[in-house]
């Protein structure tokens, strides 16, 4: 194993900003020391003068190759993890899916078959439970013991992923016993389906109506209901992709009561809005995801939630579908547009732009993108920080470089960018995964199969 020395940079973690050199050996960080105070030698020296040295990003919400509405998310584990690395993310936690009538184990095996040997960076899995019954509840215990320590349930998508309140309560009770963390897609899908049917019957078929029917009130109501069910079960709750101010308020109110309730949001809710969904010529389809984009006024509540720790994590919900041939399945019927957006490559840069814009501090940037997701999902301090003993997942970040986000230059396997033309300040320069270069001076030097599977511990927030 080679020794690598990263010199002259500003090391930023969730807790500190230090001008120190970082010594990497055997794939791990072994020591930090003030420049000039040590006599370290190394096989490779990376000069990070004038740059930030930050932990690799942890994206706890991705959907590579996910089946949806008769098609598949366009990024494979190979292309998606390569794009993640380009954007400074060195760990993803993707979602294995239990299909209706099948066991969770079958779903997990299927996701291992897609991912194993194909990833450029390390990866773990959450389990989506679509069929909560006696045997899947028992299997939850075994999965937790093996390192699948979080389970996603859906209050949306009746007939596909949907669980009713009884099933949700049972899964939460099980989680309260086995230490698992329940992740919730909180939208009232039964009510939404009524509004979808009515909208289509009245000829409201454009992408913008996707945002119209998925009402803020139906996200807030489901969030409230999820909190109360978790409270009754004595279980912790992590609400995924929070998009609306009233949903943030539900989470804040639960936390003020001392309940172990956590919230995640995504860059699309922080930077995009219903204005995008209303773009003409069906272009709005590029921005169809659920929960939906909201009117711009909601963004301030999300930023405030991130600053106040009412929201703890920013993940991408990366689930790309090409505009051509995939999003187009929903021309004339917005309900047939595959739900999801690309973003795994853009998260660290967009959140750095939020630092530049004054929404969050530098340390909070690292906390919400690296440290908190690692803690939330049982990967800390192996992932999410730069400290002796941690995996040497390290990004050398140039905070002054300017770039324009575009599908022309991105590495995600999708034919559009949700942030096309957006200028941001800051750019990934070099990325190490367990001490091995994956991106070196803006060139990809990694390979499929470098990434290893990560069995996870219990959430470290509980």
End-to-end CA, the chain: 36
Q: Which stretch binds Zn ion (CB under 5 A): 38-46, 82-90, 279-287, 315-323?
A: 315-323
Q: How far is the CB of 128 from Zn ion (least distance, A)?
A: 9
**Spatial contact of 218 and 243, defined as CB atoms under 8 Å apart:** no
Q: How far is the CB of 426 from Zn ion (least distance, A)?
A: 26
Q: Which is nearer to Zn ion, 97 or 387 (CB)?
A: 97
> Which positions from 381 through 420 interact with Zn ion, judged by CB under 5 A?
none
Q: Which is nearer to Zn ion, 54 or 93 (CB)?
A: 93
Q: Is 59 in the site for Zn ion (CB under 5 A)?
A: no
Q: Which stretch binds Zn ion (CB under 5 A): 250-258, 293-301, 311-319, 443-451?
A: 311-319
Give the separation between CA 234 and CA 222, rounded to whole angstroms: 18
Q: Which is nearer to Zn ion, 317 or 398 (CB)?
A: 317
Site string for Zn ion, 259-298 (x = CB under 5 A): ----------------------------------------
Q: How far is the CB of 63 from Zn ion (least distance, A)?
A: 6
Q: Which stretch binds Zn ion (CB under 5 A): 110-118, 125-133, 134-142, 312-320?
A: 312-320
Which residue, judged by CB position, is nearest to Zn ion in the bound state?
317
Q: Is 245 in the site for Zn ion (CB under 5 A)?
A: no
Q: Is 65 in the site for Zn ion (CB under 5 A)?
A: no
Q: Which stretch binds Zn ion (CB under 5 A): 121-129, 313-321, 348-356, 372-380?
A: 313-321
Q: Which stretch binds Zn ion (CB under 5 A): 81-89, 206-214, 276-284, 316-324?
A: 316-324
Give the separation between CA 50 and CA 19, rounded to whole angstroms: 10
Q: Which is nearer to Zn ion, 320 or 426 (CB)?
A: 320
Q: How far is the CB of 201 from Zn ion (least distance, A)?
A: 29
Q: Which stretch binds Zn ion (CB under 5 A): 45-53, 136-144, 317-325, 381-389?
A: 317-325
Query: Order of strands across the sheet with 10-12?
Result: 17-19, 10-12, 52-55, 394-404, 423-433, 436-440, 443-444
Q: Which is nearer to Zn ion, 263 or 426 (CB)?
A: 263
Q: How far is the CB of 165 from Zn ion (least distance, A)?
A: 21
How many residues bind Zn ion, per CB under 5 A?
1
Q: How far is the CB of 295 from Zn ion (least distance, A)?
A: 22
Characterize the bridge pairing of strands 89-97 and 57-62.
Answer: parallel
Neighbouring residues of 197: CB distance < 8 A, sequence distance ≥ 6: none
Give the separation between CA 360 and CA 309, rounded to whole angstroms: 11
Q: Which of residues 59, 317, 345, 349 is near Zn ion by CB under 5 A?
A: 317
> Which positions from 175 through 234 interact with Zn ion, judged by CB under 5 A?
none
Q: How far is the CB of 350 from Zn ion (least distance, A)?
A: 18
Q: How far is the CB of 319 from Zn ion (least distance, A)?
A: 6
Phi (first) and psi of residue 291, to 5 degrees? -55, 155
Q: How far is the CB of 433 from Zn ion (least distance, A)?
A: 24
Neighbouring residues of 97: CB distance < 8 A, sequence distance ≥ 6: 66, 67, 107, 110, 111, 128, 130
Burial 9-41 (b: 16+ CB within 10 A, else e): bbbbbbeeeeebbbbbbebbbbebeeeeeeebe
Q: How far is the CB of 218 from Zn ion (least distance, A)?
A: 17
Give the separation between CA 113 and CA 95, rounded to whole angstroms: 13
Give the separation between CA 403 and CA 442, rounded to whole angstroms: 12
**Spatial contact of 152 and 185, defined as CB atoms under 8 Å apart:** yes
Q: Which stretch binds Zn ion (CB under 5 A): 73-81, 254-262, 309-317, 365-373?
A: 309-317
Give the separation between CA 91 and CA 456, rounded to whole angstroms: 12
Strand partners, 152: 128, 183
Taking CA atoms, 121 is separated from 29, 78, 203, 320, in Å, by: 17, 9, 45, 19
Q: Which of 432, 383, 325, 258 is nearest to 69 (CA)?
A: 325
Residues that bind Zn ion (CB under 5 A): 317
């Amino acid at each position: 194993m080679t020794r690598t020395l990263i010199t002259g940079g500003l090391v930023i973690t969730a807790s500190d900003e230090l001008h120190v050199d970082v010594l990497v050996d055997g794939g791990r960080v072994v020591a930090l020391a003030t420049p000039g105070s040590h006599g370290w030698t190394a096989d490779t020296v990376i000069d990070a003068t004038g740059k930030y040295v930050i932990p690799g990003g942890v994206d706890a919400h991705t959907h590579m190759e996910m089946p949806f509405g008769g098609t598949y998310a366009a990024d494979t584990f190979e292309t998606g993890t390569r794009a993640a690395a380009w954007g400074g993310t060195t760990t993803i936690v993707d979602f294995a899916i239990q299909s209706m009538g099948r066991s969770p184990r079958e779903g997990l095996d299927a996701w291992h078959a897609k991912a194993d040997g194909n990833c450029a960076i390390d990866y773990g899995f959450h389990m989506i439970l679509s069929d909560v019954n006696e045997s899947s509840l028992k299997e939850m215990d075994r999965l937790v013991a093996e390192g699948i320590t979080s389970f996603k349930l859906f209050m949306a998508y009746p007939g596909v992923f949907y669980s009713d309140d009884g099933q949700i309560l049972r899964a939460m009770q099980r989680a309260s016993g086995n230490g698992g963390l329940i992740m919730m897609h909180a939208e009232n899908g039964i009510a939404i389906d009524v509004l979808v049917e009515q909208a289509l019957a009245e000829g409201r078929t454009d992408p913008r109506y996707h945002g119209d029917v998925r009402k803020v009130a139906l996200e807030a109501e489901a969030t409230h209901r999820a909190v109360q069910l978790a409270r009754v079960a004595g279980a912790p709750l992590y609400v995924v992709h929070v998009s609306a101010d009233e949903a943030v308020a539900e989470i804040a109110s639960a936390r003020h009561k001392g309940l172990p309730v956590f919230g995640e949001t995504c860059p699309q809710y922080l930077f995009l809005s219903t204005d995008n969904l209303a773009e003409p010529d069906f272009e709005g389809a590029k921005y169809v995801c659920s929960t939906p984009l909201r009117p711009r006024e909601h963004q301030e509540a999300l930023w405030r939630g991130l600053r106040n720790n009412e929201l703890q994590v920013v993940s991408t919900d990366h689930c790309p579908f090409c505009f051509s041939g995939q999003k187009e399945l929903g021309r004339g019927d917005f309900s047939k547009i595959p739900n999801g957006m690309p973003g795994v490559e853009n998260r660290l840069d967009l959140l750095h732009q939020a630092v530049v814009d004054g929404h969050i501090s530098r340390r909070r940037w690292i906390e919400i993108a690296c440290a908190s997701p690692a803690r939330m999902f049982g990967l800390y301090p192996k992932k999410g920080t730069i400290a002796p003993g941690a995996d040497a997942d390290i990004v050398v970040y140039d905070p002054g470089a300017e770039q324009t986000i575009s599908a022309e230059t991105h590495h995600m396997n999708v034919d559009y960018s949700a942030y096309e033309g957006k200028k941001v300040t800051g750019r990934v320069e070099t990325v190490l995964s367990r001490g091995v270069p994956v991106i070196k001076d803006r060139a990809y030097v990694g390979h499929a199969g470098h990434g290893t599977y990560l069995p996870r511990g219990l959430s470290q927030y509980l």
